[in-house]
Amino acid sequence: MANQSLCRDRSDWVSQNINAISSLPLQRFENIKNIERIRQKLVNHHVTSIVMDAD
């Protein structure tokens, strides 16, 4: 039960960060690519953490 709650909290954390990153003003096209890379890193990091916590 605790793990499910932890996963939900982490999902919320990732969503908040993605929203914060997405709302940054974009100057150039490179910024969009950077945002995508950061977003992917956040998601990958937290999915990995959730899987490790589940063990």
Residues 1-52: pLDDT tens digits?
A: 555 666 667 778 777 777 777 666 656 667 778 888 888 888 887 677 666 6
C-alpha to C-alpha distance for 39 and 52, rounded to whole angstroms: 20
Q: What is the pLDDT of residue 17?
A: 78
Q: Is the pTM of this model over 0.75?
A: no
How do the domains of the chain map onto residue ranges? 2-54
Q: Tell me, what's the pLDDT at 27?
A: 60
pLDDT for 23: 67
In this prediction, residue 4 carries a pLDDT of 62
SS3 assignment for 1-55: CHHHHHHHHHHHHHHHHHHHHHCCCCCCHHHHHHHHHHHHHHHHHHHHHHHHHHC
d(CA 2, CA 40): 26
pLDDT of the residue at 20: 75
